[in-house]
């Protein structure tokens, strides 16, 4: 878990550095610039807000942000699901065309020696369950 968090933080820092070096400020939305221009220093915000007001403000801003991006989140989840399904289907088709069949099923089923013993020590069984005399 800690490795996941450290790597996530490293990616965020690197992305911030790259975006800062590229000078992407000209591509900011107008509402982001408006927020930047109206922000006051943190000390001034801390002086006049109670805990309840801070929590309410946090929920308000979170709802506002989610309201603007929820459609993109749902679309990206749907795209990922569709790609995963299509790729799995394509791999299955390619495997069958190349003669591999479904390897996952074949590899996962390996009869134990006890099951082989119950089958009549290698004798082949006909459709009714009896041996055909070849074993």
| Whether the Cβ atoms of residue 124 and residue 132 lie closer than 8 Å to each other | yes
Mean pLDDT, the chain, whole residue set: 77
pLDDT of residue 135: 47
80 three-state secondary structure = helix
In a domain, 68, yes or no: yes
Question: Structurally, how many domains does the chain consist of?
Answer: 1
Phi, psi of 131 (to 5 degrees): -85, 155
In a domain, 11, yes or no: no
Phi, psi of 29 (to 5 degrees): -70, 155
Give pLDDT tens digits for 15-53.
Answer: 989 988 998 878 888 877 887 777 665 555 566 788 888
In a domain, 24, yes or no: no
Mean pLDDT of 119-128: 53
| Whether the Cβ atoms of residue 74 and residue 66 lie closer than 8 Å to each other | no
Pairwise CA distance, residues 89 & 76, whole Å? 20
Pairwise CA distance, residues 40 & 48, whole Å? 12
pLDDT band at 129 (very low <50, low <70, confident <90, very high): low
In a domain, 96, yes or no: yes
Cβ count near 45 (within 10 Å): 13
pLDDT of residue 102: 53
In a domain, 113, yes or no: yes
Tokens (6 digits) for 107:
């590899």
**0.75 cut: is pTM over it?**
no
Give pLDDT tens digits for 61-118.
Answer: 999 999 999 999 999 999 999 999 999 888 888 877 777 655 554 555 555 666 555 5
Give pLDDT tens digits for 52-65.
Answer: 888 898 899 999 99
Q: Which domain holds residue 110?
A: 57-121
Pairwise CA distance, residues 91 & 103, whole Å? 11
In a domain, 8, yes or no: no
């Amino acid at each position: 878990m800690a490795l996941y968090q450290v790597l996530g933080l490293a990616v965020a820092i690197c992305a911030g550095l790259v975006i800062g070096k590229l000078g992407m400020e000209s591509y900011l939305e107008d509402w982001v610039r408006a927020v930047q221009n109206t922000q006051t220093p943190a000390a001034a915000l801390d002086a006049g807000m109670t805990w309840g007001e801070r929590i309410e403000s946090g929920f308000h801003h979170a709802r506002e942000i989610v309201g603007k991006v929820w459609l993109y989140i749902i679309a990206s989840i749907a795209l990922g699901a569709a790609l995963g399904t299509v790729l799995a289907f394509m791999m299955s088709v390619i495997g069958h065309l190349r003669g591999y069949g479904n390897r996952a099923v074949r590899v996962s089923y390996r009869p134990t020696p006890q099951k082989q013993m119950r089958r009549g020590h290698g004798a082949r069984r006909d459709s009714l369950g009896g041996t055909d005399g070849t074993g």
